[in-house]
Structure 1
């Protein structure tokens, strides 16, 4: 009897799957309802917060500046990133619908890593914007033009799509798989690659190369930008100005360090962690870096930005006030 999701032409115990089975988080099966509740909460808060952010920035002409344009794109990307995995995870945790078609799995993987790459690039773009705003304020207007922003965004989009495409091509070209059971809560690249009944060294190397070419390069430039920013801050004569800049930059640093740190851990632990890291720890951290930043970014970037905070409170006040004829 052929199990669901497996083509009938088995050879030497291998097969080519028509679908994969997402396990979720091995070892926490008894807590799936609570895990699903946490995922749902993160997803709803991410959608709500990022939609408010995009709406407020789009509707306010005073916020049509480089910093807020980057923030609007980050919010849109965060909403899409959450949507690429959260609904599928809820199907697994709440409804035990674990099957995902092979093509759907590949598509989810492609969108997931494209949005992740674009997220990393946008964080770099925002640090680039802050560097010129703080360190070279007189040249800021001539450097951060709409043309430069459009070119940077196009580059980041092309990079996100093209660099991960070879990984997708190699997965599709695997001749056979040993299993179609995915010990993860979404279609994670190396988890799928390890199921292949083929030489996976090239795919593994491509995954590491992609992580360092995108996340590593972005993180390096972000760190350099913030080092220059802090160097400029220390030279400010006013203590209040230094404190204000630190209060703005420190939360931003926490965002990109947590995002990039967990992303690197997820990438490297698959290859070098071996059996030293329990599977559920790896999966929880992998889920965290995809679900938590999109939920926290609207709070950190939005609530702590005075102009956005004022616009949001003004909009809420209008909604609560009675209509006056």
Structure 2
């Protein structure tokens, strides 16, 4: 079937690709409608790998998807042909120790779309386990449904932070993940979120999402001093590090209040150092997340209820036949663009 294929570093093609997937008794076949372009997809395109995951042979990209069920396996009872759905792209080994302990996202054997050597979903159809496929309410569009996957990262981060009603948070980085994390923190109960970045356009988008979001350009001023001023010297209860930038990651404790929590969300491109002494005098709790677990139904519910509005984050759409160009544009990190999506016919 025609697919968007990463042939090698910096070389994409839209071509027929030989891939056949048998429908198992607990699987569904899904006609793909919308796929979001994720930073990891772009990184595979521009660098040929992420950490230990190296593209060694042609691979189909894409993992943020929505579509329509076209076929169901013999044992599937929760879905039917015609259902509109979104899909959780990581498939763990259900018998692994991590999965049995409820941590299926960190199962070493997890198979995740568009993570070498597993093919992604930028193609007309996929076969996927029904247990990781979620029916959409009528008021959730395909575009919004394709945002469930990145939103899941933010909801998982807020869950790990154990946000309490009235908490104040700092989100470092106003990219797609930073923005959904800010929205998730507010939905979890934060009264206020400080959002930092160096891109004024992204900060403007962040500020437009909620009156409870206060933006600070860290390239133009001292964010820590401003946050401490606005919190009467106390600081914030939660810091979400979403930028992946070593300098930002190394400063996570500066604006943190005593007893606060830091959640590392963005994956740094290189090792970084932070001040353990600052963490100790605060008795800071430090958490990390890797993707998400057990949150997709929550994300669908948050979008359906209007508690979280992801529509302002969808800033550009491309037709499937323009997929190569879409990635070329995404690789330039254009200002003002948050989430770009590809629509299949």
Tell me, yes or no, whether TM beats 0.5. no
Greater RCO, 1 or 2 (C-alpha within 8 Å, sep 6+):
1
TM-score by length of 1: 0.26
- Superposition TM-score, scaled by structure 2 size: 0.25
Larger fraction in helix: 1
Considering only CA atoms, is the larger Rg found in Structure 1 or Structure 2? 1
User: Whose strand fraction is larger, Structure 1's or Structure 2's?
Assistant: 2
